[in-house]
Structure formats: C-alpha cells, structure tokens
Amino acid sequence: QKEVEQNSGPLSVPEGAIASLNCTYSDRGSQSFFWYRQYSGKSPELIMSIYSNGDKEDGRFTAQLNKASQYVSLLIRDSQPSDSATYLCAVIGSNTGKLIFGQGTTLQVKP
Amino acid sequence: DAGVTQSPTHLIKTRGQQVTLRCSPKSGHDTVSWYQQALGQGPQFIFQYYEEEERQRGNFPDRFSGHQFPNYSSELNVNALLLGDSALYLCASSYGGHGREQYFGPGTRLTVT
C-alpha cells in the first residue's frame, strides 16, 4: 500500500464547475496535510494546508480532512482553464516528519 | 521578499561524474529539504537539514549527500551519477524543522547521459 494515494486522472471538468480531488493516506498518526499545484515544467506551489478535521476555505479552494477515514480532499469551485495542472497531495508522517507526496492528479478544465 | 532560489537551472552530466546543486531558502526560513521528482511522479524525499544537521533521510543511497551552511543555504551532492538520477531536483524551505509548510524553489533539471 502506498503511503499517499491519488487517482492520477486526468480529471476533466467544464469551466465553471466544481473539481473534486481526493487523496488517502496510510499513516493514521499523520497530523499535517497539504495540497500543491504543479504546472507542467514548473515546481510545486503550496495552495492549501490543513491540520484539523473539517473544512478549510481559501477563495475558490476548500480543503477537507477526515482523519478517521484517512482522507483529504480539495474542492475547486468555479474552475477556470488556468486551474489545469497536476495537484499533489502531501502528508507529513507521524514518526518520521517526512513530507510524503502522492503521484498527483492531473486536472483539465475545458472552456 | 525573496523566495527559494536554486542553481543551476539545468545541468547535463555524464554517467559516473559528480554534481553539486545549491539552494537558498526563503527569507526567515531555517530548514531545507531536498526532493527528487521523476517525470509523471510526485516528489520523493531525499533528506532534510535543520541547524546544519541532517535530520531526516529518505530511501536514497549514500551517493546522495548534503550540507547546510550557517546562513541556512544548502547543497545537494550526488556522486557516481547513474542514468536513473536524471530528474528534477527540488529544494523546499520551511521554518522550525518538520511539520511545517514547505515552499519550493524552481528546481534543477539534471540530465545524465
């Protein structure tokens, strides 16, 4: 079992729709969770961090964390073509402190 | 406010050679982590430096080594390069050790021929 799992996609949504990206993790003791956006040929950009169960909203982005079910999700409202990128879920392990990434989900927003 | 910087941007080396990559953290940050990202994959953790010491290490051979300087900048050294070392090498900085938000530099694209 991978430590952090994401569906590689591509996830295709029409412009203006809600994009839903999901991630599961195996280390039940993990406390820190992050979403990064990576455009092709560029480095990852931190867009959301979440540490407590529930929802955290920042503009068009909402991160959701459910520690009991060991999943993290990212919702992007009013999706724009400029949101087309790979979204990386990352988790800091409880015992190691290492930031572990999933393989990323490619999002395509079609005009 | 300067972000994370890395040098060089691109590098081409021959199998068996050695390479040094450099990273300067974001202003106010004291922790530097290094990652290797192969095409189509998420970044893989190499190691993390805090207070000039290697604090955490991923599953990478001893050919990968590093250093952190008193000004918090860092170097990644790779010896005896293999074709499989071709990747994007990313540096990320944060404050106060692990558990914190990490911000990435632009990366160094290493090609081993």
pLDDT tens readout for residues B8-19: 999 999 999 999
A99 vs B33: CB contact, 8 Å cut-off?
A: yes
Tell me the two tokens of residue B23. Answer: 């990273």
Pick from A91, A86, A87, A56: nearest CA to A71: A91
Residues in chain B closer than 8 A to A99 (CB atoms): 33, 45, 92, 98, 102
Burial profile A55-93: b = 16 or more Cβ within 10 angstroms, e = fewer: eeeeeebbbbbeeeeebbbbbbeebeeebbbbbbbbbbb
Of A90, A92, A102, the CB nearest to B99: A92
Q: How confident is the model at residue B1 (pLDDT cuts 50, 70, 90)?
A: low
Q: For A51-97, what is each residue's pLDDT tens digit?
A: 999 999 999 999 999 999 999 999 999 999 999 999 999 999 887 77
The minimal CB distance from A88 to the residues B42, B99, B107 is found for B42
Question: Any idea which residue has 């280390």 for tokens?
Answer: A27
**Residue A49: pLDDT above 70?**
yes
